[in-house]
Chains A and B, each alone.
Chain A
Protein backbone atom coordinates (compact mmCIF):
# COMPACT_ATOMS: atom_id res chain seq x y z
CA UNK A 1 0.00 0.00 0.00
CA UNK A 2 1.38 3.37 -0.97
CA UNK A 3 1.29 6.02 1.73
CA UNK A 4 -0.20 9.31 0.65
CA UNK A 5 1.74 12.45 1.50
CA UNK A 6 -0.64 13.85 4.17
CA UNK A 7 -0.86 10.54 5.96
CA UNK A 8 2.91 10.11 5.90
CA UNK A 9 3.41 13.57 7.39
CA UNK A 10 0.71 12.92 9.97
CA UNK A 11 2.41 9.66 10.91
CA UNK A 12 5.68 11.55 11.37
CA UNK A 13 3.94 14.12 13.57
CA UNK A 14 2.31 11.51 15.83
CA UNK A 15 5.59 9.60 16.00
CA UNK A 16 7.50 12.71 17.11
CA UNK A 17 4.82 13.63 19.64
CA UNK A 18 4.78 10.10 21.05
CA UNK A 19 8.56 9.99 21.36
CA UNK A 20 8.59 13.43 22.92
CA UNK A 21 5.92 12.45 25.42
CA UNK A 22 7.51 9.12 26.39
CA UNK A 23 11.18 10.00 26.49
CA UNK A 24 12.70 12.81 28.46
CA UNK A 25 9.45 14.61 29.13
CA UNK A 26 10.59 17.47 26.89
CA UNK A 27 7.46 19.52 27.57
CA UNK A 28 7.65 19.39 31.35
CA UNK A 29 11.44 19.89 31.40
CA UNK A 30 11.13 22.95 29.19
CA UNK A 31 8.56 24.49 31.52
CA UNK A 32 10.67 23.73 34.58
CA UNK A 33 13.67 25.40 32.92
CA UNK A 34 11.48 28.39 32.02
CA UNK A 35 10.28 28.53 35.64
CA UNK A 36 13.86 28.38 36.94
CA UNK A 37 14.88 31.28 34.69
CA UNK A 38 11.91 33.35 35.88
CA UNK A 39 12.71 32.41 39.48
CA UNK A 40 16.38 33.42 39.42
CA UNK A 41 15.77 36.83 37.82
CA UNK A 42 14.37 38.46 40.99
CA UNK A 43 17.44 37.22 42.86
CA UNK A 44 19.64 39.03 40.38
CA UNK A 45 17.54 42.18 40.10
CA UNK A 46 15.91 42.40 43.53
CA UNK A 47 12.37 41.76 44.75
CA UNK A 48 11.10 45.24 43.76
CA UNK A 49 7.75 44.34 42.21
CA UNK A 50 7.37 47.69 40.43
CA UNK A 51 10.67 47.17 38.60
CA UNK A 52 9.90 43.52 37.92
CA UNK A 53 6.51 44.34 36.42
CA UNK A 54 8.16 46.94 34.20
CA UNK A 55 10.74 44.52 32.82
CA UNK A 56 8.54 41.42 33.23
CA UNK A 57 7.70 40.99 29.53
CA UNK A 58 11.41 41.17 28.71
CA UNK A 59 12.25 38.56 31.35
CA UNK A 60 9.57 36.21 30.05
CA UNK A 61 10.72 36.67 26.48
CA UNK A 62 14.39 35.99 27.26
CA UNK A 63 13.38 32.95 29.32
CA UNK A 64 11.24 31.68 26.42
CA UNK A 65 14.08 32.28 23.95
CA UNK A 66 16.56 30.32 26.06
CA UNK A 67 14.08 27.54 26.83
CA UNK A 68 13.27 27.16 23.13
CA UNK A 69 16.96 27.08 22.29
CA UNK A 70 17.67 24.40 24.86
CA UNK A 71 15.86 21.56 23.15
CA UNK A 72 16.67 22.55 19.60
CA UNK A 73 19.99 20.72 19.27
CA UNK A 74 18.08 17.42 19.52
CA UNK A 75 15.61 18.38 16.78
CA UNK A 76 17.32 16.23 14.14
CA UNK A 77 20.17 14.69 16.13
CA UNK A 78 18.35 11.66 17.56
CA UNK A 79 17.21 10.76 14.03
CA UNK A 80 20.72 11.27 12.69
CA UNK A 81 22.12 8.94 15.35
CA UNK A 82 19.69 6.06 14.90
CA UNK A 83 19.66 6.36 11.11
CA UNK A 84 16.01 7.26 10.65
CA UNK A 85 17.09 10.62 9.22
CA UNK A 86 18.51 8.75 6.20
CA UNK A 87 15.09 7.21 5.70
CA UNK A 88 13.43 10.61 5.95
CA UNK A 89 15.94 12.00 3.44
CA UNK A 90 15.28 9.22 0.96
CA UNK A 91 11.51 9.21 1.40
CA UNK A 92 9.28 10.52 -1.35
CA UNK A 93 7.91 13.28 0.87
CA UNK A 94 9.69 16.61 0.29
CA UNK A 95 12.32 17.23 2.96
CA UNK A 96 11.07 20.80 3.40
CA UNK A 97 7.67 19.52 4.54
CA UNK A 98 9.32 16.95 6.81
CA UNK A 99 11.32 19.75 8.43
CA UNK A 100 8.13 21.76 8.85
CA UNK A 101 6.33 18.84 10.51
CA UNK A 102 9.26 18.22 12.84
CA UNK A 103 9.26 21.92 13.77
CA UNK A 104 5.53 21.72 14.44
CA UNK A 105 6.01 18.69 16.70
CA UNK A 106 8.89 20.40 18.49
CA UNK A 107 6.84 23.56 19.00
CA UNK A 108 3.83 21.61 20.29
CA UNK A 109 6.11 19.88 22.80
CA UNK A 110 8.25 22.81 23.96
CA UNK A 111 6.89 26.11 22.65
CA UNK A 112 3.18 25.76 23.29
CA UNK A 113 3.56 24.72 26.97
CA UNK A 114 5.69 27.84 27.54
CA UNK A 115 3.02 30.02 25.95
CA UNK A 116 0.30 28.43 28.07
CA UNK A 117 2.34 28.77 31.25
CA UNK A 118 3.51 32.34 30.58
CA UNK A 119 0.46 34.14 32.13
CA UNK A 120 0.99 32.22 35.37
CA UNK A 121 4.65 33.20 35.54
CA UNK A 122 3.71 36.72 34.50
CA UNK A 123 1.56 36.96 37.63
CA UNK A 124 4.63 36.16 39.74
CA UNK A 125 6.41 39.09 38.10
CA UNK A 126 3.54 41.43 38.90
CA UNK A 127 2.27 41.94 35.35
CA UNK A 128 -1.22 43.43 34.94
CA UNK A 129 -3.93 41.87 32.77
CA UNK A 130 -3.00 43.87 29.67
CA UNK A 131 0.64 42.90 29.90
CA UNK A 132 -0.27 39.25 30.55
CA UNK A 133 -2.38 39.16 27.40
CA UNK A 134 0.38 40.92 25.46
CA UNK A 135 3.02 38.42 26.57
CA UNK A 136 0.70 35.49 25.85
CA UNK A 137 -0.21 36.60 22.33
CA UNK A 138 3.30 37.73 21.37
CA UNK A 139 4.79 34.45 22.59
CA UNK A 140 2.11 32.50 20.74
CA UNK A 141 3.26 34.09 17.48
CA UNK A 142 6.93 34.49 18.38
CA UNK A 143 7.89 31.03 19.65
CA UNK A 144 7.07 29.31 16.32
CA UNK A 145 9.35 31.85 14.63
CA UNK A 146 12.12 31.02 17.12
CA UNK A 147 11.66 27.29 16.50
CA UNK A 148 11.80 27.78 12.74
CA UNK A 149 14.94 29.93 12.88
CA UNK A 150 16.42 27.43 15.31
CA UNK A 151 15.70 24.56 12.91
CA UNK A 152 18.25 26.07 10.51
CA UNK A 153 20.88 26.00 13.25
CA UNK A 154 19.84 22.48 14.29
CA UNK A 155 20.22 21.26 10.70
CA UNK A 156 23.62 22.95 10.32
CA UNK A 157 24.98 21.38 13.51
CA UNK A 158 23.31 17.97 13.21
CA UNK A 159 26.49 16.10 12.32
CA UNK A 160 28.52 17.63 15.15
CA UNK A 161 29.04 15.79 18.37
CA UNK A 162 28.69 18.88 20.54
CA UNK A 163 26.61 21.24 18.46
CA UNK A 164 24.57 22.80 21.26
CA UNK A 165 26.79 25.77 22.03
CA UNK A 166 27.51 26.48 18.35
CA UNK A 167 23.78 26.32 17.65
CA UNK A 168 23.20 29.06 20.22
CA UNK A 169 26.01 31.19 18.77
CA UNK A 170 24.61 30.86 15.25
CA UNK A 171 20.97 31.37 16.12
CA UNK A 172 20.90 34.06 18.80
CA UNK A 173 22.01 36.92 16.50
CA UNK A 174 19.39 35.87 13.95
CA UNK A 175 16.62 35.85 16.55
CA UNK A 176 17.23 39.46 17.61
CA UNK A 177 14.42 40.87 15.37
CA UNK A 178 11.89 38.42 16.84
CA UNK A 179 13.01 39.38 20.34
CA UNK A 180 12.81 43.11 19.62
CA UNK A 181 9.30 43.05 18.18
CA UNK A 182 8.08 40.37 20.59
CA UNK A 183 9.09 42.36 23.65
CA UNK A 184 7.84 45.60 22.09
CA UNK A 185 4.42 44.08 21.41
CA UNK A 186 4.29 42.51 24.86
CA UNK A 187 5.25 45.65 26.75
CA UNK A 188 3.21 47.95 24.50
CA UNK A 189 6.07 50.44 24.48
CA UNK A 190 5.03 51.62 20.99
CA UNK A 191 1.44 50.47 20.89
CA UNK A 192 0.50 46.86 20.30
CA UNK A 193 -0.62 46.56 16.69
CA UNK A 194 2.48 47.73 14.80
CA UNK A 195 5.16 45.60 16.47
CA UNK A 196 2.74 42.69 16.68
CA UNK A 197 2.06 42.77 12.95
CA UNK A 198 5.79 42.91 12.22
CA UNK A 199 6.25 39.95 14.57
CA UNK A 200 3.58 38.07 12.58
CA UNK A 201 5.46 39.01 9.40
CA UNK A 202 8.73 37.64 10.83
CA UNK A 203 6.98 34.41 11.82
CA UNK A 204 5.47 34.02 8.34
CA UNK A 205 8.83 34.73 6.75
CA UNK A 206 10.39 32.06 8.94
CA UNK A 207 7.61 29.70 7.91
CA UNK A 208 8.27 30.40 4.24
CA UNK A 209 12.09 30.38 4.19
CA UNK A 210 13.44 28.39 7.15
CA UNK A 211 12.27 24.93 5.94
CA UNK A 212 14.21 25.41 2.70
CA UNK A 213 17.39 26.52 4.43
CA UNK A 214 17.13 23.76 7.04
CA UNK A 215 16.41 21.09 4.42
CA UNK A 216 19.39 22.24 2.33
CA UNK A 217 21.60 22.13 5.43
CA UNK A 218 20.35 18.62 6.28
CA UNK A 219 21.11 17.36 2.78
CA UNK A 220 24.65 18.73 2.94
CA UNK A 221 25.19 17.54 6.51
CA UNK A 222 24.21 13.95 5.91
CA UNK A 223 25.45 13.19 2.40
Chain B
Protein backbone atom coordinates (compact mmCIF):
# COMPACT_ATOMS: atom_id res chain seq x y z
CA UNK B 1 0.00 0.00 0.00
CA UNK B 2 1.47 3.35 -0.98
CA UNK B 3 2.19 5.80 1.80
CA UNK B 4 -0.45 8.53 1.30
CA UNK B 5 1.08 10.64 4.06
CA UNK B 6 3.98 11.37 1.74
CA UNK B 7 3.28 14.72 -0.01
CA UNK B 8 4.34 13.45 -3.45
CA UNK B 9 2.12 10.36 -3.06
CA UNK B 10 -0.69 12.62 -1.94
CA UNK B 11 -0.36 14.79 -5.06
CA UNK B 12 -0.60 11.66 -7.21
CA UNK B 13 -3.66 10.48 -5.31
CA UNK B 14 -5.28 13.91 -5.44
CA UNK B 15 -4.91 14.07 -9.22
CA UNK B 16 -7.24 11.07 -9.50
CA UNK B 17 -9.43 11.65 -6.44
CA UNK B 18 -10.30 15.33 -6.84
CA UNK B 19 -12.19 15.00 -10.16
CA UNK B 20 -14.05 11.96 -8.78
CA UNK B 21 -15.16 13.63 -5.56
CA UNK B 22 -15.92 16.86 -7.44
CA UNK B 23 -18.23 14.96 -9.80
CA UNK B 24 -19.79 13.12 -6.85
CA UNK B 25 -20.35 16.46 -5.09
CA UNK B 26 -22.10 17.82 -8.19
CA UNK B 27 -24.41 14.81 -8.46
CA UNK B 28 -25.21 14.75 -4.75
CA UNK B 29 -25.99 18.46 -4.70
CA UNK B 30 -28.18 18.16 -7.80
CA UNK B 31 -30.19 15.30 -6.29
CA UNK B 32 -30.19 16.73 -2.79
CA UNK B 33 -31.24 20.21 -3.80
CA UNK B 34 -33.97 18.87 -6.10
CA UNK B 35 -35.37 16.73 -3.28
CA UNK B 36 -34.99 19.50 -0.73
CA UNK B 37 -36.43 22.34 -2.76
CA UNK B 38 -39.05 20.61 -4.94
CA UNK B 39 -39.73 17.07 -3.87
CA UNK B 40 -40.19 17.33 -0.12
CA UNK B 41 -43.31 18.48 1.69
CA UNK B 42 -43.51 21.94 3.30
CA UNK B 43 -43.74 21.81 7.09
CA UNK B 44 -47.27 22.05 8.50
CA UNK B 45 -46.16 24.86 10.81
CA UNK B 46 -43.27 26.54 9.07
CA UNK B 47 -44.42 26.22 5.47
CA UNK B 48 -41.78 26.64 2.80
CA UNK B 49 -39.18 28.15 5.12
CA UNK B 50 -38.43 24.65 6.42
CA UNK B 51 -36.37 24.18 3.24
CA UNK B 52 -33.66 26.36 4.80
CA UNK B 53 -33.09 23.40 7.10
CA UNK B 54 -31.56 21.37 4.26
CA UNK B 55 -28.80 23.96 3.93
CA UNK B 56 -28.57 24.86 7.59
CA UNK B 57 -28.36 21.54 9.41
CA UNK B 58 -25.65 19.96 7.21
CA UNK B 59 -23.48 23.07 7.56
CA UNK B 60 -23.80 22.81 11.34
CA UNK B 61 -22.72 19.18 11.14
CA UNK B 62 -19.81 20.11 8.91
CA UNK B 63 -18.76 22.91 11.26
CA UNK B 64 -18.20 20.26 13.94
CA UNK B 65 -16.87 17.59 11.57
CA UNK B 66 -14.17 19.90 10.22
CA UNK B 67 -13.04 20.66 13.76
CA UNK B 68 -12.66 16.94 14.41
CA UNK B 69 -10.63 16.63 11.20
CA UNK B 70 -8.44 19.49 12.42
CA UNK B 71 -7.95 17.81 15.80
CA UNK B 72 -6.80 14.58 14.14
CA UNK B 73 -4.46 16.55 11.87
CA UNK B 74 -3.19 18.39 14.95
CA UNK B 75 -2.31 15.03 16.53
CA UNK B 76 -0.49 14.12 13.33
CA UNK B 77 1.49 17.35 13.56
CA UNK B 78 2.41 17.03 17.23
CA UNK B 79 2.97 13.29 17.49
CA UNK B 80 4.47 12.43 14.10
CA UNK B 81 5.59 15.90 12.96
CA UNK B 82 4.06 15.19 9.62
CA UNK B 83 4.30 17.89 6.92
CA UNK B 84 1.09 16.64 5.31
CA UNK B 85 -0.75 16.92 8.64
CA UNK B 86 0.44 20.54 8.82
CA UNK B 87 -1.02 21.20 5.37
CA UNK B 88 -4.24 19.36 6.27
CA UNK B 89 -4.67 21.49 9.38
CA UNK B 90 -4.03 24.72 7.53
CA UNK B 91 -6.33 23.82 4.65
CA UNK B 92 -9.20 22.82 6.95
CA UNK B 93 -9.37 26.00 9.06
CA UNK B 94 -10.88 28.39 6.46
CA UNK B 95 -13.23 25.63 5.26
CA UNK B 96 -14.46 25.06 8.81
CA UNK B 97 -14.90 28.79 9.33
CA UNK B 98 -16.81 28.92 6.03
CA UNK B 99 -19.22 26.13 7.01
CA UNK B 100 -19.72 27.72 10.43
CA UNK B 101 -20.43 31.07 8.82
CA UNK B 102 -22.87 29.42 6.42
CA UNK B 103 -24.58 27.80 9.41
CA UNK B 104 -24.89 31.14 11.21
CA UNK B 105 -26.10 32.92 8.06
CA UNK B 106 -28.77 30.37 7.20
CA UNK B 107 -29.75 30.18 10.86
CA UNK B 108 -30.19 33.92 10.90
CA UNK B 109 -32.23 33.85 7.67
CA UNK B 110 -34.36 31.07 9.13
CA UNK B 111 -34.73 32.92 12.42
CA UNK B 112 -36.25 36.00 10.82
CA UNK B 113 -39.50 34.36 9.64
CA UNK B 114 -39.60 31.87 12.55
CA UNK B 115 -38.64 33.94 15.56
CA UNK B 116 -39.26 37.36 14.00
CA UNK B 117 -35.68 38.43 14.59
CA UNK B 118 -32.34 37.93 12.87
CA UNK B 119 -30.56 36.78 15.96
CA UNK B 120 -31.51 35.24 19.28
CA UNK B 121 -29.11 34.16 21.99
CA UNK B 122 -30.35 30.64 21.64
CA UNK B 123 -28.04 28.01 23.10
CA UNK B 124 -27.26 26.33 19.80
CA UNK B 125 -26.75 29.57 17.87
CA UNK B 126 -24.53 30.90 20.63
CA UNK B 127 -22.28 27.86 20.82
CA UNK B 128 -21.89 27.79 17.03
CA UNK B 129 -21.03 31.47 17.24
CA UNK B 130 -18.28 30.71 19.79
CA UNK B 131 -17.03 27.91 17.53
CA UNK B 132 -16.82 30.49 14.73
CA UNK B 133 -14.72 32.75 16.96
CA UNK B 134 -12.36 29.84 17.72
CA UNK B 135 -11.99 29.16 13.98
CA UNK B 136 -11.14 32.82 13.42
CA UNK B 137 -8.56 32.67 16.21
CA UNK B 138 -6.95 29.63 14.57
CA UNK B 139 -6.81 31.38 11.20
CA UNK B 140 -5.32 34.47 12.84
CA UNK B 141 -2.65 32.34 14.56
CA UNK B 142 -1.75 30.78 11.19
CA UNK B 143 -1.34 34.22 9.68
CA UNK B 144 0.83 35.88 12.32
CA UNK B 145 3.43 33.13 12.88
CA UNK B 146 5.88 33.40 10.00
CA UNK B 147 7.66 30.06 10.24
CA UNK B 148 5.00 27.67 8.95
CA UNK B 149 6.41 24.61 10.72
CA UNK B 150 6.25 26.42 14.05
CA UNK B 151 2.83 27.84 13.21
CA UNK B 152 1.55 24.31 12.58
CA UNK B 153 2.70 23.10 16.00
CA UNK B 154 1.34 26.15 17.84
CA UNK B 155 -1.99 25.94 16.01
CA UNK B 156 -2.09 22.21 16.78
CA UNK B 157 -1.78 22.91 20.52
CA UNK B 158 -4.48 25.56 20.38
CA UNK B 159 -6.75 23.35 18.29
CA UNK B 160 -6.49 20.54 20.84
CA UNK B 161 -7.04 22.96 23.76
CA UNK B 162 -10.10 24.22 21.89
CA UNK B 163 -11.19 20.63 21.26
CA UNK B 164 -11.18 19.95 24.99
CA UNK B 165 -12.98 23.23 25.62
CA UNK B 166 -15.71 23.06 22.99
CA UNK B 167 -17.82 20.46 24.86
CA UNK B 168 -17.42 22.51 28.05
CA UNK B 169 -18.44 25.68 26.23
CA UNK B 170 -21.43 23.85 24.75
CA UNK B 171 -22.47 22.61 28.21
CA UNK B 172 -21.98 26.06 29.76
CA UNK B 173 -23.96 27.81 27.06
CA UNK B 174 -26.80 25.28 27.36
CA UNK B 175 -26.87 25.82 31.11
CA UNK B 176 -26.68 29.58 30.69
CA UNK B 177 -29.53 29.52 28.20
CA UNK B 178 -31.87 27.55 30.46
CA UNK B 179 -31.02 30.08 33.16
CA UNK B 180 -32.20 32.91 30.92
CA UNK B 181 -34.92 30.93 29.18
CA UNK B 182 -36.96 33.06 26.84
CA UNK B 183 -40.70 32.58 26.52
CA UNK B 184 -40.89 31.04 23.07
CA UNK B 185 -38.24 28.68 21.88
CA UNK B 186 -38.75 27.09 18.55
CA UNK B 187 -38.45 23.33 18.33
CA UNK B 188 -38.69 21.01 15.37
CA UNK B 189 -42.29 19.89 14.91
CA UNK B 190 -41.93 16.70 16.90
CA UNK B 191 -39.49 14.27 18.43
CA UNK B 192 -38.87 12.59 15.12
CA UNK B 193 -38.44 14.05 11.68
CA UNK B 194 -40.62 12.71 8.88
CA UNK B 195 -38.96 10.28 6.46
CA UNK B 196 -39.85 12.55 3.53
CA UNK B 197 -37.64 15.22 5.11
CA UNK B 198 -34.94 12.91 6.45
CA UNK B 199 -33.88 11.58 3.05
CA UNK B 200 -33.15 14.95 1.43
CA UNK B 201 -31.37 15.99 4.63
CA UNK B 202 -29.09 12.94 4.61
CA UNK B 203 -28.31 13.36 0.90
CA UNK B 204 -27.50 17.02 1.51
CA UNK B 205 -25.23 15.99 4.40
CA UNK B 206 -23.40 13.61 2.07
CA UNK B 207 -23.13 16.37 -0.54
CA UNK B 208 -21.61 18.74 2.03
CA UNK B 209 -19.15 16.07 3.20
CA UNK B 210 -18.13 15.33 -0.37
CA UNK B 211 -17.77 19.07 -1.03
CA UNK B 212 -15.53 19.38 2.00
CA UNK B 213 -13.39 16.41 0.90
CA UNK B 214 -12.96 17.93 -2.56
CA UNK B 215 -12.10 21.40 -1.31
CA UNK B 216 -9.87 20.04 1.43
CA UNK B 217 -7.83 17.94 -0.98
CA UNK B 218 -7.54 20.90 -3.36
CA UNK B 219 -6.44 23.19 -0.55
CA UNK B 220 -3.87 20.66 0.73
CA UNK B 221 -2.54 20.34 -2.82
CA UNK B 222 -2.27 24.14 -3.08
CA UNK B 223 -0.50 24.27 0.26
CA UNK B 224 2.05 21.63 -0.80
CA UNK B 225 2.66 23.45 -4.09
CA UNK B 226 2.90 26.81 -2.31
CA UNK B 227 5.61 25.42 -0.02
CA UNK B 228 7.44 23.94 -2.98
CA UNK B 229 7.41 27.30 -4.79
CA UNK B 230 8.66 29.04 -1.69
CA UNK B 231 11.48 26.54 -1.31
CA UNK B 232 12.43 26.86 -5.00
CA UNK B 233 12.34 30.65 -4.74
CA UNK B 234 14.65 30.52 -1.73
CA UNK B 235 17.05 28.18 -3.51
CA UNK B 236 16.98 30.43 -6.57
CA UNK B 237 17.59 33.47 -4.41
CA UNK B 238 20.49 31.78 -2.67
CA UNK B 239 22.06 30.72 -5.96
CA UNK B 240 21.28 33.95 -7.74
CA UNK B 241 22.98 36.00 -5.05
CA UNK B 242 26.40 35.66 -6.64
CA UNK B 243 25.35 36.39 -10.20
CA UNK B 244 24.09 40.00 -9.93
CA UNK B 245 27.00 40.94 -7.71
CA UNK B 246 29.38 39.56 -10.29
CA UNK B 247 27.46 41.49 -12.95
CA UNK B 248 27.65 44.77 -11.08
CA UNK B 249 31.26 44.43 -10.16
CA UNK B 250 32.83 42.62 -13.08
CA UNK B 251 36.35 41.43 -12.75
CA UNK B 252 38.64 43.98 -14.36
CA UNK B 253 39.83 42.68 -17.69
CA UNK B 254 43.51 42.21 -17.83
Q: Which residues of A contact B (CB under 8 A)?
A: 152, 156, 159-160, 163, 166, 169-170, 172-174, 176-177, 180-181, 184, 189-190, 202, 209, 213, 216-217, 220-221, 223
Contacts and interface: CB of A to CB of B under 8 A. Distances in A.
A213 B154 CA distance: 10
A176 B172 contact: yes
A192 to B, nearest CB: 13
B140 to A, nearest CB: 6
B175 A169 contact: no
23 contacts: A156-B154, A156-B157, A156-B158, A159-B145, A159-B150, A160-B144, A166-B137, A169-B133, A169-B136, A170-B137, A170-B140, A173-B130, A174-B134, A174-B162, A176-B130, A176-B172, A177-B172, A180-B173, A184-B179, A189-B179, A216-B157, A217-B158, A220-B154
B141 interface: yes
Given A169-B136, A220-B154, A180 B141 contact: no
Contacts of B118: none
Given A166-B137, A172-B133, A180-B176, 6 more contacts: A160-B144, A170-B137, A176-B130, A176-B172, A209-B164, A216-B157
A114 B171 CA distance: 28
A152 B161 CA distance: 9
B40 to A, nearest CB: 36
Contact of A190 (B162, B172, B179): B179
Contact size class for B?
20 to 34
B158 A173 contact: no
Given A166-B141, A184-B179, A217-B154, A174 B161 contact: yes
Contacts of B161: 152, 174, 213
Task: Say whether chain B's binding surface is mostly helix, strand, loop, or mixed.
Answer: helix
B154 A180 contact: no
Given A156-B141, A160-B144, A221 B169 contact: no
B117 interface: no
B165 A174 contact: yes
B62 to A, nearest CB: 19
B168 interface: yes
B82 to A, nearest CB: 15
Q: What 6 A-B pairs have minimum CB-CB distances, sorted nearest first?
A: A177-B172, A220-B153, A173-B133, A170-B137, A180-B172, A180-B176
Interface string B136-154: 1100110011000010011
A221 B157 CA distance: 11
Nearest to A194: B175
Contacts of B154: 156, 217, 220-221
Contact of B168 (A169, A190, A202, A223): A202
Interface string B209-239: 0000000000000000000000000000000
